[in-house]
Amino acid sequence: MTDDRNIFIVRCGEVALKGMNKPYFERMLVERIKKMLKRYEGVEVKRHEGLIFVRADKLIPKEDIIKQISKVFGVASISPAVEVETDMDKINEAAVQVMLELMQEKEIHTFKVEAKRADKTFPITSPEVGRIVGAKILIGCKVLKVDVHHPDCLLFVDVRREKSYIYEQKISGFGGLPLGTNGKGLVLLSGGIDSPVAAWMMAKRGMLIEAVHFHSYPYTSERAQEKVEQLASIVATYCGRFKMHVINLLPIQEEIVQHCPEEETTILVRRFMMRIAERVAEETGCMMLITGENLGQVASQTAEALVVTDASVKLPVMRPLIAMDKVDIMDKAQEIGTFETSIQPYEDCCTVFLPKHPTTKPKLEKILESESRLDAEALIEKAIASKETVRIFPQD
């Protein structure tokens, strides 16, 4: 053993396919891992020979380090490993010791060694390394047998130029691209299930996130807004801290209810939300709007309604959930930890003044005619004047 710290091998996913831009993406990924682990003292993060190596004090629980690294977008997998000098005697000794420790932790009767020789100048081929290490394990762990098809334990040996690595686990990360490699977007964040997942999915593609939230106080409560801030905080555990702009939509809703056809209320409100969000995006350097809309889920999310909604803004609208089944969205919400908060029964601005029979196939000409009855610019300015900005920090 050459290092008295715990060592973790971090593998890049899609980052590895970036060709000439790969070094840039790897540097960004290293920086994101460092930020995620900055709460721990003495942690070292370095990239070397296509991998990222994290070294941490053994007093820090391995599970904590793995949990934090696995939240970093761009990480394909993580392996806690043992590092030794690239020497067959030292590799054999370490492999036997690793297997003996594994046998104390879990019930193992059979094993298989899978060796990889990244250093092609090493005089022993990968299959030979596997056979030699396997033979040493059979001698050192006499109760074990080899099973190349269904082993209880698959032990990996990674032979590299100066150091080699032995490990058993490959813990999956989320993949994607490192945060900050794909600009910044403004997510329309509600208290529901969908929009937090949409924000998470765009962040997974490397996009920094900022948020806007609409409320209808006093029809919606302060507790409802606290719920949204809690959801944003969970999203921030993956995306890092960000700003959320909170805007009162009630005056606009009241004007629409008073002057426009009831069945058009939903789509008219939606168009105002998009235009206000566009103003906020332009003020904050966001390149696009992000929504949790899903095709056919509700009246404002039919194909016709989405076309009419998009006609209200010039910025591109990203809808990462557009073709997902609701069940799949709920599964993703549970996976990232937002689901239990999203289903808390607090009011939402979208449920205020909800028409009994909302139009599902709006015509842009009719919607524009209805909007002409309103002083749209004055209403938007008034809404933006109500804006309050909340700083969102990661939950843990």
The 3-state DSSP class for residue 113 equals strand
Q: Say whether 188 counts as a known binding-site residue.
A: yes
Q: Say whether 109 counts as a known binding-site residue.
A: no
Q: What is the C-alpha separation between 9 and 394, in angstroms, rounded?
A: 25
Segment among 15-29, 64-78, 151-165, 178-192 with least mean pLDDT: 15-29
Host H or E run for residue 76:
strand 75-85
pLDDT of residue 119: 87
The arrangement of strands across the sheet holding 208-215 comes to: 317-318, 288-290, 184-188, 208-215, 242-248, 388-392
Structure confidence by residue, pLDDT tens digits, 56-81: 999 999 999 999 999 999 999 999 99
Burial per residue of 75-96, b for 16 or more beta-carbon CB atoms within 10 angstroms, e otherwise? bbbbbbbbbbebebeebbebbb
Quick one: average pLDDT of 365-384?
96
Q: What is the C-alpha separation between 312 and 329, in angstroms, rounded?
A: 27
Q: What is the C-alpha separation between 206 and 74, in angstroms, rounded?
A: 8
Mean pLDDT of the chain: 93
Contact 355, 253 (CB under 8 A): no
Residue among 23, 29, 24, 28 nearest 11 (CA) = 29
Q: CB within 8 A of 153, min separation 6: which ones? A: 99, 102, 106, 108, 110, 111, 112, 168
Host H or E run for residue 268:
helix 265-284
Quick one: average pLDDT of 34-55?
92
pLDDT of residue 258: 95
Q: Which two tokens stand for residue 96?
A: 């036997």
Residue 346: pLDDT above 90? no
pLDDT band at 16 (very low <50, low <70, confident <90, very high): confident
What is the 3-class SS of 115-159, one letter each residue?
EEECCCCCCCCHHHHHHHHHHHHHHHCCCCEECCCCCCEEEEEEE
pLDDT of residue 198: 98
Q: Say whether 301 counts as a known binding-site residue.
A: yes
Residue 307: pLDDT above 70? yes
The amino acid that residue 237 corresponds to is: T
Q: Which two tokens stand for residue 226?
A: 């606290």
Contact 392, 243 (CB under 8 A): yes
The 3-state DSSP class for residue 220 equals coil
Structure confidence by residue, pLDDT tens digits, 75-102: 999 999 999 999 999 999 999 999 999 9
Residue-range domains of the chain with CATH: 1-83 (3.30.70.1510), 86-171 (3.30.2130.30), 184-392 (3.40.50.620)
pLDDT of residue 3: 62
Block residue for tokens 């959320």: 244
Q: How many residues does the chain have?
A: 396
Radius of gyration from C-alpha coordinates of the chain: 27
Q: Say whether 213 counts as a known binding-site residue.
A: yes
Q: What is the C-alpha separation between 392 and 396, in angstroms, rounded?
A: 12
